[in-house]
Structure 1
Amino acid sequence: MKLVEITEPPSLNTLIRRFGSRRLPFVLESSQSNDGLGEWSFFGAEPFDVVVGRALSELREVMRPWRMSNDTEIPFIGGAVGYLAYDYGRRIESIPNAALDDRGIPDMYFGIYDGVAAYHHKSGKLYLIAHGFKEPAKDIIKRLRGWIEGPFEAEVKPMSLGPWEWNLSKDEFARAVERVREYIASGDVYQVNLSRRARCAFTGQGLDLYAALREGNPAPYSAYLSSGEFEFISTSPEQFLQKKGSQLVTRPIKGTRPRSGDPEKDLISEEELRASRKDRAELLMIVDLERNDLGRVAEFGSVHVEGLFQLEHYRSVIHQTAQVKAKLAEGEDVYRALTALFPGGSITGAPKVRAMEIIEELEPTRRGAYCGSVGYIGFNEDAEFNIAIRSLHLKAGRLDYQVGGGIVWDSEAESEYQETVDKGRAICETLDRICQP
């Protein structure tokens, strides 16, 4: 392995532009560090292999020849970067095919990257890492330095939006909420995450969108990916899975209140969230679900909960969270752990499979990468993935985003609808600001 330290690197905005404009790029960025989250950001482009639409077991086989240890402090020194779409869950569980697949993007996409750049937010240092699997490591480092230090002129094109079209109107969403409550009353399910999608015509570049959204809605698990056919953007606050050595962590979010910019009003929102029996019950249900999922691959007795009902503050919302931790059992690996937990309980419901069936019935279009997971699996099999909320798809001139929330028996249709509005506010306000009508 060859590692080069750059003590005075370009700004994050510049790194995003320089890497994001290359072929098949990725940005995994912590545009907001929160409670110890988001110490590192990673950048790369031009993978030496791509794995599309296949099973995680096949990705394991592709990665097997390159397996190696990591003796540095840098969490990710190269490997697979990409996403699992929410609909990858159909490869894990038997779910009906009722919702329309009108995006046509793969259920799984990963590039395999030898050369990567890792930015440490606390020190301000940038590290370039290469291994030389397919070409000499020194050549890869030279190419990375050229991208960072060579001549470059960012091409920012005008952006414009057409009118938004929702796949569920306010009234249709309200009826869907009531249908979920009927299922809860009949004992079918305890909770269902229900979402709705907005779509419009768009002209412009996805990288410009990401650059604007990371400013308007900073988050510890932001991501930009381009496959050449479509682009995916996420400014997510939620961690799906982190694996360091044998340690596993998942951090579900349940419970949201808007922020106003007025500290006194925000304190009132905090107290409302702490006092909400509905939100506390939702989080407890999902924590129990995640404990069960982790238990499938964890060492017996190692699953435990930390930071229950902790509040996290972001620019436009306050979230209630918890951490569920475990030790990976002997004979298990990161691919089995991802399969055991996917898709995340906070964006499905409980029981998970029945909730996924109800989502399929009530949401008219498939979710795509929304509520899937974006992240990395290192050559050493450490990994970190987000829950891909606060996200946008861009393909063939069509842009969409999706917002949702957990429905329980105490849910009221009006407040659930308002929660989707609150969650989408940062995206909408940023798009309205940067785009021509």
Structure 2
Amino acid sequence: MKDEPVIVIDFNQRRLKFEKPLQVWQTCRTEQVKSIFEKVQEAIDGQYYVVGYVNYECAPAFDTKLSVCPSDEEVPLVWFGIYDKPTEEEAAREHGDYSVSDWKADIDREIYEDNIESIHAAIARGETYQVNYSTRLRAEFSGDDFAYYERLKEAQQADYSAYLNMGDTGYCPFRPSFSFTGTEMSSVRSR
């Protein structure tokens, strides 16, 4: 990937495109998350647009009692680009080609079933009333990642979605919830 960051936000029949960030703030270290949020607030107060993402794994930065699975050190816990303003544009009509292999889970069926059983037991014991359980899926990818985003957006019939190409990492979150990330455009994973 290693391109200049490009962010596209699609919502309510509008498309905003953010290019050429004035500044980028990111970290893979929990202890740096709060200081980045302080910078983000300063940028917002300065009337700049701030676009990015926050990984669940940064939760301990705000509450040390929270525990999360170890984060993927290739993917920042937080990433924010600071922009003067977006451009508004129409959805592209033509796209490049891409190919995606079959998706494969990072864990096998037995581990998945054990995890679900543990969740059910914790609920039965009253330790929690809800668990959002997810696991990673991986696929090999080549080609036009934005074309893939457009195809997924269409298939999901998502009125609210985003394409985040941060130069070396990409995300495609959709509503209803479904997202894909990739640290190299040769492999893609879902969360």
Superposition TM-score tier, normalisation by shorter sequence: 0.7 to 0.9
Segments of structure 2 that go 5 or more residues without pairing to the other structure are: none
Larger CA Rg, structure 1 vs 2 = 1
Q: Return the letter of the residue paired with 1:179.
A: S
In the other structure, the counterpart of 2:8 is: 27
Report the Cα distance in structure 1 between the residues aligned to 2:159 and 2:38, rounded to whole angstroms. Answer: 27
Q: What whole-Å deviation, never above 9, does each CA across 1:383-422 have from its counterpart, x for those lacking one?
A: xxxxxx31001222211113xxxxxxxxxxxxxxxxxxxx
1:159 and 1:103 map into 2 onto residues whose CA distance is 27
**Amino acid corresponding to residue 190 of structure 2 in structure 1:** Y
Tell me if structure 2 keeps the 8 A contact 1:393–1:399: yes
| Map 1:16-415 → 2, pairs under 5 A | 23-30=4-11, 38=12, 40-53=14-27, 54-61=32-39, 64=42, 67=45, 78-94=48-64, 95-96=66-67, 99=69, 101-102=71-72, 104-118=74-88, 156=96, 158-237=97-176, 389-396=177-184, 397-402=186-191
Q: TM-score, normalised by structure 2?
A: 0.80
SS in 1 for 2:123: helix
Q: Secondary structure of 1:51's partner?
A: strand
- Residues 359-385 of structure 1 deviation map (CA, whole Å, 9 limit, x = unaligned): xxxxxxxxxxxxxxxxxxxxxxxxxxx
Residues 40 and 56 of structure 1: CA distance in aligned 2, closer, same or farther (over 3 Å):
farther
Distance (whole Å) between structure 1 residues aligned to residue 76 and residue 146 of structure 2: 20
CA shift for structure 1 position 66:
6.4
Q: Is the 8 A contact 2:26 2:80 kept in 1?
A: yes
Q: CA deviation at 1:61?
A: 3.2
Please name the residue that 1:252 is paired with: none
Give, as a single letter, the amino acid of the residue that structure 2 aligns with 1:79: Y
Q: Structure 1 residues 51, 236: CA separation in 2 closer, same or farther (over 3 Å shift)?
A: same
- Count of paired positions: 183
The answer to whether the Cα contact below 8 Å between 1:79 and 1:112 also exists between their aligned partners in 2 is yes
Residue 81 of structure 1: how far off its partner (Å): 0.4
Give, as a single letter, the amino acid of the residue that structure 2 aligns with 1:85: N
1:211 shift after superposition: 1.5
Q: Residues 394 and 185 from structure 1, CA distance in 2 versus in 1: closer, same or farther, beyond 3 angstroms? A: same
Check whether the contact 2:16–2:86 (CA below 8 A) recurs between aligned residues. Answer: yes
The 1:162/1:66 distance shift into structure 2, 3 A limit, reads: closer
Identity over aligned pairs, percent: 24
CA distances 1:210-254 after superposition (whole Å, capped 9, x unpaired): 1111111122320001111111111223xxxxxxxxxxxxxxxxx
How far did residue 79 of structure 1 move? 0.9
Residues 206 and 394 of structure 1 are in contact (CA less than 8 Å); yes or no, is this contact kept in structure 2?
A: no
Structure 1: 5+ residue stretches without partners = 1-21, 31-37, 70-77, 120-125, 127-153, 238-388, 403-437
Deviations 1:154-192 (A, max 9, x none): 771x32233432123344323222211211222211111
Letter in 1 for 2:173: S
Greater helix share, 1 or 2?
1
